[in-house]
Structure 1
Amino acid sequence: MPRDVFLPVAAQPSVDALVEQAQLGEQLGYDTAWLPETWGRDAVTTLTCIAQGTDDIDIGTSIMPVYSRSPALIGQSAATLQEVSDGRFRLGLGPSGPVVIENWHGVDFGNPLRRTRETVDVVKQVLAGEEVTYDGEYFDLEGFRLRCDPPEPTPPVDAAGMGPKAVELAGRFADGWHALLFTRDGIRDRLEDFDRGSEMGDRDRDDQRVTLSLTCCVLDDAEEAKSLVKQHTAFYIGGMGTFYRDSLARQGHEETAHEIYDHWQDGDQAAAMDALDDDLLEEIAVWGTPDTAPDHFERFADIDGVESASVSFPRGADLDQIESTMRALAPE
């Protein structure tokens, strides 16, 4: 299974530092360097710098929100990134959530499934070099066409999702699915949704790629690594809207998911972390020492239907801790 690296959400002291992390990933044999677009540096500018500073590692967005740019602009950006990377780019799209979209971007969150589908549709038309004519619920386009030649090869377009319908949509219309915060059993349930969507869209499943992102921290001090992973996981379940909470609840951990969420919303982060026991944390994340963590990571590498596992990092990890983790979990 290919092993990817998910460049950090939080430890972004400079664009140069992100380029250096991607260069290290290339040296260590990682397949793809994914960059999230949150509230730090924008993905397009940063990935352009990474493309110029690397030679072999693939690059991609995981995830670019579909509310903060128009589909035509996303298509233009994907075409440009494919050009500057010499064909190494993969576009990951997703709706994010109302906390980010409404509070930070000032855009109505609306119907995320429909908006994601329409964005994927339009972006694929743009990347094919077609004159885009589209009559959708959110987008009504006529006459747009790339002024430059369409990228060759056409970059794949992936979608993120957590619920059954969102994952089914990814299987039906996208070239891959980005999965986050899933147990081994939980992702198997959603893979059934993805495969069903693939069949509904008459897609070749062998041409689609499911990427599972795992929060990882590998340090000489295993307790410190666990603490960073636990704080990060509790933050996502408790503080990033209801999507992660509801996803964990669907995976059979409803009581725990709601307890973490309620404590976090009440401002008691310590109690939220205490509610996340080690057994459950082991099901959704990887931590430990350089001697123990690689075997733990491998437990996720044999899930049938997952084509790639991605090493991501706790939001509290610093650059040294990120490098330690990348080196310990590098492909052999």
Structure 2
Amino acid sequence: MTAFDVHLPVAAQSGIDPIVAYGRRAESCGYDRVWLPETWGRDAASVLTVLAERTDSIGLGSSILPVYSRSPALIGQTAATLQEISNGRFRLGVGPSGPAVIEGWHGVEFERPLRRTRETVEIVKRVLSGESVEYQGEIFQLSGFRLRGEPPVSAPPVDVAAMGPKAVELAGRFADGWHAIVFTPDGIRERLEDFHRGTELGDRDPSGVRTTLSLTCCALEDRERARRLARQHVAFYVGGMGTYYRDSLARQGYEEEATEIAAAWGSGERERALGTIDDAMLDDLCAAGTPEEARKALDRFARVDGLDVISVGFPRGAEREEIEATIDALAP
């Protein structure tokens, strides 16, 4: 049975209190977990700490902490600390992000993302074990690092965000779960084959790993507003966030549309970019419309065999009351 989480807004919020309010609302509505992204606003660890203090039972997770902006040892320390603060409710999500973020915002060369992600996961798991970390990788070499204090009684699982076939295979082979974003139902099914191949290569028990899809949702009585917000969100990611999302859509049968969106967005023709996303494409990527329409679309994704969790996300342009309405309308 598919579980339902909430992917907290990626857009700037007026303060930490609204973010916490979304988390508390998700908890009261019966969602399993809230995930917090780390982009260019507040750092995720600090906000997750506040969420841990102001919620009681809902799971907490980072989706995602980029593997280039922190060292693997620091990511491990952060995960151990958040697991302690939350009384065992934390789940770590990491991923490479992309060149636009890592090189443009952090000034770090975006090189060998697959290898860096793999080594980060391996090191983080060793840090969380509480043992002394002796690691000789192709990118990282560590000796003597050990948590100062008791390790978590139950180590938080470590998930990897991925879109391409090899990256998804890596998640299945080395991590405890895979986070997917900007996928169609058929696209998820195809990548699940890569994920399961990874679990086989890693000699993993498939029942011990989880697949989570972050799905852009907007459930409003104002149908046109909901769908326009979702279109704007898709266009921004495809046109404004580098080539990863464009390449992923191309693999899912939307190469022509993705290329057109990126070209229009890059030339400042935002309305043309939005117009490229027809109703069929929008419904293949989002759950947007009236509450009844959004719920029906959500159920379509939930029926994908092998998808364990759907994380209800929101368009970047959604106002606070629109986010709250969507949380309520799509509650488990």
TM-score by length of 1: 0.99
Higher mean C-alpha deviation, range 75-84 or range 11-20: 11-20
Structure 2: which amino acid aligns with 1:43?
A
CA distance in 2, matches of 1:234, 1:291: 24
1:34 alignment counterpart: 35
Report the alpha carbon displacement of residue 289 of structure 1 after superposing the two structures with TM.
1.4
CA distance in 2, matches of 1:288, 1:253: 22
Superposition pairs of residues 46-61 of structure 1, within 5 angstroms: 46-61=47-62
Question: Contact 2:45–2:82 (CA<8 Å) still a contact in 1?
Answer: yes
1:295 alignment counterpart: 296
In structure 1, stretches of 5+ residues that fail to align are none
Q: For each residue in 1:135-158, what CA deviation from the matched residue of structure 2 results, as whole angstroms up to 9, or x when unmatched?
A: 112211000000111112110000
2:119 alignment counterpart: 118
Structure 2: which amino acid aligns with 1:30?
Y
1:231 alignment counterpart: 232
Structure 2: which amino acid aligns with 1:188?
R
Give SS of 2:144's match.
strand
1:17 is aligned to 2:25 = no
Report the alpha carbon displacement of residue 293 of structure 1 after superposing the two structures with TM.
1.7
CA distance in 2, matches of 1:281, 1:289: 14
User: How many aligned positions are there?
Assistant: 331
CA distance in 2, matches of 1:188, 1:269: 31
1:273 alignment counterpart: 274
CA distance in 1, matches of 2:267, 2:56: 47
1:186 alignment counterpart: 187
Shift >3 Å, 4+ stretches: none
CA distance in 2, matches of 1:134, 1:38: 29
CA distance in 2, matches of 1:328, 1:280: 23
Percent identity at matched positions?
62
2:223 alignment counterpart: 222
Higher mean C-alpha deviation, range 283-292 or range 303-312: 283-292
In structure 2, stretches of 5+ residues that fail to align are none
2:4 alignment counterpart: 3
CA distance in 1, matches of 2:121, 2:233: 30
1:132 alignment counterpart: 133
Q: For each residue in 1:227-254, what CA deviation from the matched residue of structure 2 results, as whole angstroms up to 9, or x when unmatched?
A: 0000000110111000000000001111
CA distance in 2, matches of 1:137, 1:107: 17
Question: Contact 1:11–1:319 (CA<8 Å) still a contact in 2?
Answer: no
CA distance in 1, matches of 2:47, 2:294: 30
Structure 1: which amino acid aligns with 2:180?
A
1:248 alignment counterpart: 249
Higher mean C-alpha deviation, range 290-299 or range 106-115: 290-299
Question: Contact 1:170–1:194 (CA<8 Å) still a contact in 2?
Answer: yes
Question: Contact 2:12–2:41 (CA<8 Å) still a contact in 1?
Answer: no
1:72 is aligned to 2:73 = yes
Q: For each residue in 1:255-307, what CA deviation from the matched residue of structure 2 results, as whole angstroms up to 9, or x when unmatched?
A: 11111111111111111111111101101101111233212211111111110
Give SS of 1:60's match.
strand
2:260 alignment counterpart: 259
Report the alpha carbon displacement of residue 11 of structure 1 after superposing the two structures with TM.
4.2
Give SS of 1:39's match.
coil
CA distance in 1, matches of 2:265, 2:27: 37
Structure 2: which amino acid aligns with 1:135?
Q
Question: Contact 1:71–1:122 (CA<8 Å) still a contact in 2?
Answer: yes
CA distance in 1, matches of 2:12, 2:240: 19
CA distance in 2, matches of 1:263, 1:216: 24
Question: Contact 2:172–2:178 (CA<8 Å) still a contact in 1?
Answer: yes
CA distance in 1, matches of 2:209, 2:6: 19
RMSD of aligned residue pairs (Cα, Å): 0.7
Give SS of 2:160's match.
strand
